[in-house]
Structure 1
Amino acid sequence: MISEVATSDAELLHSILGIPDDFQWNESQRHLAASRLRNWVSQYGEDVIREKRRGFLLTLSNQGLENLRNYL
């Protein structure tokens, strides 16, 4: 279950995937990434995503969310 602390898109991405709040995405990109992350959490669980963080980051990058490859 998504932790209660992570309420905004930026907080969610940071708390689960470690993406900094000031990462170089516009608001639309940040919302899209957070939406995908919420779907993954409901499918796989937060612990699995934390364990396989790099794979989920690569998936986001492959789905067109730019600049993530530089972050990896």
Structure 2
Amino acid sequence: HLNRPDNANRIRTLLLAGLRSAVLWRQKGGGRLTLLLRRKALLAQAQAMLDSLPQTPSPETLEPHSDA
């Protein structure tokens, strides 16, 4: 899978995003115990944030642009 540049780029991006999230979590005072004890509350808050985002069509459902 890593031989394909698009997959390698996607994996690299996800790994860096995970590292950045972990650093920000720790900088804001988060820890493993907080994550374990408040998991349901954190999931509920994350879901509420996702639900509040405006719905946008996925790239697969968009029609290609015609320059003609």
After TM superposition, the score normalised by the length of structure 2 is: 0.34
Greater RCO, 1 or 2 (C-alpha within 8 Å, sep 6+): 1
Give the structure-1-normalised TM-score: 0.33
